[in-house]
């Protein structure tokens, strides 16, 4: 019960990494506000509420809309008494190079992945200050530290989130608010499984994706959640401005990390 009676907001928590993070906090006694546009978040919150530990409620919201963000934070404060931890996880991706992605898609990706983190942090900080401090964990990406082809908007948003993490850590240190980022590699979420299923040979695609990592497998949402809880908790009390890869060794190598490049 590391987070007993702590109030936690997790964005993009209807499924995947966000859901795993929310569940991990609830099991550790936290009261979690599940935020998502997907109405599956309501079912997730109801299930989490039945887990022994803390409680959970769902608030449907678009993280890129300032008024909706402020409403989420207000409801979390009214229901759970304040805000102790914020996890900025909500994200979207649209493939394409800088000449291939449309202006509308570019704006959408930046609005959700980067502006959403700014808006939620901006709204939560005064509440954390009233509690004497808090923790913010941004879910960035290994692609915020390295790049691939034809993914310009997503990479720009996650690189910006890494930089924003460091800036926030400096600005908020005097308020006893720590800010860190986690950079996952390829994680076996529902969306990744759907992507792999779309390849002509899904099993070969899975092996190729696994071979990008030194550990030669995809990560799990629960492994990312464990890193998030560490950074949000007392064990990381002297850590702020850190960017932690949870990538199975992906960023440690040129080319294929799990086997030699052919």
Structural domains of the chain ordered from first start:
7-187+220-251 (3.40.50.720)
> What pTM was estimated for this model as a whole?
0.96
Q: Work out the percent of the chain whose per-residue pLDDT is above 70.
A: 97
Question: Would you state the pLDDT for residue 43?
Answer: 92
Six-digit token string for 207:
């092996």
Which of these, 86, 118, 89, lies nearest to 15 by C-alpha position?
A: 89
pLDDT digits 0-9 by tens, 77-131? 999 999 999 999 999 999 999 999 999 999 999 999 999 999 999 999 999 999 9
Q: What is the DSSP string of 197-258?
A: HTSSSHHHHHHHHHTTSTTSS-B-HHHHHHHHHHHHSGGGTT--S-EEEESTTGGGSSS-SS
How much is the average pLDDT of 233-248?
98
- The yes-or-no verdict on residue 38 having pLDDT over 90 is no
pLDDT digits 0-9 by tens, 197-224? 999 999 999 999 999 999 999 999 999 9
Supply the angle between the helices 116-130 and 152-172 in degrees, to the nearest 10. 20
Work out the mean pLDDT of the chain and round it to a whole number.
95
Active site members: 154
User: In whole angstroms, how far apart are CA 173 and each of 12, 96, 103, 124?
Assistant: 26, 37, 36, 15
């Amino acid at each position: 019960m590391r987070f007993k009676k702590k109030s936690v907001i997790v964005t993009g928590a209807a499924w995947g990494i966000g859901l795993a993070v929310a569940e991990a906090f609830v099991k550790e006694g936290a009261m979690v506000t599940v935020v998502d546009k997907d109405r599956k978040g309501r079912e997730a919150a109801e299930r989490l509420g039945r887990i022994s530990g803390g409680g959970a409620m769902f608030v449907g919201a678009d993280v890129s809309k300032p008024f909706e963000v402020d409403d989420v934070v207000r409801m979390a404060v009214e229901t759970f008494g304040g805000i102790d931890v914020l996890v900025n996880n909500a994200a979207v991706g649209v493939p394409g190079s800088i000449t291939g992605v449309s202006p509308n898609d570019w704006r959408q990706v930046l609005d959700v992945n980067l502006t959403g983190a700014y808006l939620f942090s901006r709204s939560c900080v005064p509440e954390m200050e009233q509690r004497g401090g808090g923790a913010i964990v941004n879910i960035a990406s290994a692609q915020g530290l390295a790049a691939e082809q034809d993914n310009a908007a997503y990479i720009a948003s996650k690189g910006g989130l890494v930089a924003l993490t460091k800036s926030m850590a400096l600005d908020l240190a005097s308020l006893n608010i720590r800010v860190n980022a986690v950079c996952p590699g390829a994680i076996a979420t529902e969306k990744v499984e759907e992507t792999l299923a779309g390849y002509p040979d899904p099993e070969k695609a899975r092996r190729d994706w696994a071979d990008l990592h030194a550990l030669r497998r995809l990560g799990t949402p629960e492994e990312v959640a464990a890193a998030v809880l560490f950074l949000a908790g007392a064990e990381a009390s002297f850590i702020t401005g850190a960017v932690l890869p949870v990538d199975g060794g992906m960023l440690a190598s040129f080319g294929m990390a799990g086997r030699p490049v052919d």
